[in-house]
Amino acid sequence: MLKRLRLMGSSLFRLVLLVCAALAVCGLAGPEWGVGLLVVGLFAEILMHLNYIARLAQWLENPRLENAPSARSILWSEIFYRLMKNRKALDKNTERLAQREDRYRRILAAIPEGIILTKKDWAINWCNGNAAKMFGIGGEEDFGRHLFAFVHDPNLLSWFKAGVFDAPYLWEPDASGRMLRVSVIAVDKKSILVLARDTTEQERLDAMRRDFVANVSHELRTPLTVLRGFLDMAVDGAEQGGDKAVLQTQHITLMRAQARRMESLLSDLLILSRLETGSSTKPKETFSLSEMLAAVTGEISLMAKGTHTVTCRTAPILISAYADEVRSAVANLLTNAVRYTPAGGRVDASCSITPDGTVAVVVRDNGIGIAPEHIPRLTERFYRVDKSRSRDTGGTGLGLAIVKHVVLHHNARLTIESEVGKGSVFSIIFPSSSHVTATDEAA
C-alpha cells in the first residue's frame, strides 16, 4: 500500500495543489473562476496521462524500439521500466524457444525416419525432409493439406482410414523394391504422429539370412540322406540277420565322399564366418606370393589328375598380407577354374606387378564361361549359375564369397571378365602398399 502511495505521490500532490488553488481562486475571484481552474487542471492532468498512454502504445507496437519512452512522472517511469523489463524477458524467452525449436527441427530432420505431425483430421502440421521425400510432400507450402492427398497406394490409404494401428504397415511405394515400415502414434487428442522407416536393407538382410539357412539345410540334406540311407540299410540287415548288414565297397566310398562334402561345407562356413566377423587376431606377415601361387597351383594340378592343363607364371613378389587368407582365396579361384572347365581344358595362374604398382593375381581358364547377368551376383553365398551342374561338380557355393571377404579384408579388389563358351578371368588386385621390396624387407 505504501509503495502504491509512493508511486502515486506526484499525481496526488498535483491534484491536492490544484484543489487548493481552485479554492483560493474561488475566494478571491469567484466560484466560476475556481471551477474553471479545476477543470483546466484536470484536463491538463488527463492530457498528460493520454500522452504517456499514446507513447506506450507506439512503443509496444514497434518491436524495433528497444528503449522504453522516458517519463518525468514517477508512476509512468515505473510503468515503463517494468514493461521494459518484462519485454526483455519475453524477447529472451522467445529467442530461447525459437533456438530450441530450430534445434529440435534440425534434430528431427537428421533422423533417418520420416516424421509427419498431423492434426486429428490428418491435416499436415509439419514434416521432416525424409518424410517429404517418402510421401512426395512439397515442404512448408503443403503444410495444412490433407495427408491422404499424398497417399496414392489404395492399400495404405485403407490402412490409414481403418484406424487400427496396433502393428506397423509394410509399404512398397514403387517398383524399385524399396520397403517402408509405417507406424501411427496418437500424441494427444489433437495430434497424430506418422513415422516411416526405410527397412529395405533390413528386409534384404533378413531375406539373405533366410536364404542362407535354407541353402545350408539343402546342402546338408543330400549327404545326410545318403549316409542315413546306407546306415539304415546296414542296421536293418543286422537286425534281420541277413547279408545286407555288410556294406559294399561302393557304398562306403559314396558315404566317405558325402562325409567329405559335409566337412568341406562346414570348413568353408567357418572360414567365411571368421572373415565376416574379423575375429582373426593374426598380424600380417611378409611372404613370397609367387612361391605360394606355385605351391597352390601344384596342388590343384595333382587334384585335376591329368584331366586339365594347369600352369603357373610368376615373378618374384613379396607382399605383406594374411597368408592363410590369400592362400584360401587363390585356392578357391583355381578350384573353381578347374571345376567349371571341361576335361582337356586349360587353367593358367599368374602374379605380377602392374604399371601402377599394384599386385595382380590372375586366374584364367578356357571353360564354359559366365553370362553377363550372373557376374554381379557371383560372390553371393550359395549363388549358382547352374544349380544342377554345380552340385555335380561338388562345390559348396561359398568359394567366391570367401574370395570376396578376403579381398575386402586386404583393401583389394576383385575383377571378373567372362564370355560364355570362351572362359573366364578372375583377378585379385592388391594395393601397392601391400608390395614389399627388398629395401623394405631389409629395413
Fold of the domain spanning 207-274: Helix Hairpins (1.10.287)
Does residue 393 surpass a pLDDT of 60?
no
CA 396 – CA 267 distance, rounded (Å)? 10
User: What pTM did the predictor assign?
Assistant: 0.53
Q: Are 379 and 414 in contact (CB under 8 A)?
A: yes
- The mean predicted confidence, pLDDT, of the chain is 79
In 3D space, the residue among 440, 438, 436, 432 whose CA is nearest the CA of residue 413 turns out to be 432
Residue 366 confidence (pLDDT): 92
pLDDT band at 6; cut points 50, 70, 90: low
Lookup result for grid cell 505504501? 2
Which stretch of 243-247, 255-259, 313-317, 355-359 has the lowest confidence by average pLDDT? 243-247
Record the cell numbers describing residue 103, joined without a space.
Answer: 534445434
**CA atoms in the 13 A half-sphere facing the CB of 56:** 17
Those residues whose C-beta lies under 8 Å from the C-beta of residue 394, and which sit 6 or more positions away, are 261, 264, 339
| Highest-scoring range by mean pLDDT, 103-112, 171-180, 328-337 | 328-337
Looking at per-residue pLDDT, the higher value among 219 and 400 belongs to 400
Residue 318 confidence (pLDDT): 92
pLDDT band at 144; cut points 50, 70, 90: confident
**CA atoms in the 13 A half-sphere facing the CB of 401:** 20
**What type of residue sits at position 370?**
I
Q: Are 386 and 374 in contact (CB under 8 A)?
A: no
Q: Are 311 and 349 in contact (CB under 8 A)?
A: yes
Stretch 143-167: mean pLDDT: 88
Q: What angle (nearest 5°) sits at the alpha carbon of residue 172, between those of residues 166 and 175?
A: 170
In 3D space, the residue among 327, 325, 346 whose CA is nearest the CA of residue 337 turns out to be 346
Q: Tell me the C-alpha to C-alpha distance, in Å, between residue 410 and each of 106, 138, 320.
A: 39, 45, 10
Those residues whose C-beta lies under 8 Å from the C-beta of residue 415, and which sit 6 or more positions away, are 425, 426, 427, 429
Q: What residue ranges do the domains of the chain occupy?
A: 2-104, 111-198, 207-274, 282-442
Residue 208 confidence (pLDDT): 67
Fold of the domain spanning 282-442: Heat Shock Protein 90 (3.30.565)
pLDDT band at 348; cut points 50, 70, 90: very high
- Per-residue pLDDT of 407-416, as tens digits, reads 888 899 999 9
- Per-residue pLDDT of 49-60, as tens digits, reads 777 777 777 777
pLDDT band at 104; cut points 50, 70, 90: confident
Record the cell numbers describing residue 202, joined without a space.
Answer: 533390413
Record the cell numbers describing residue 238, joined without a space.
Answer: 543286422
Q: Is the Cα torsion angle 192, 198, 200, 201 positive or negative in sign?
A: negative
Helix/strand number for the chain, H first, E second: 13, 13
Does residue 243 surpass a pLDDT of 60?
no
Fold of the domain spanning 111-198: Beta-Lactamase (3.30.450)
Share of the chain above pLDDT 90, in %: 13
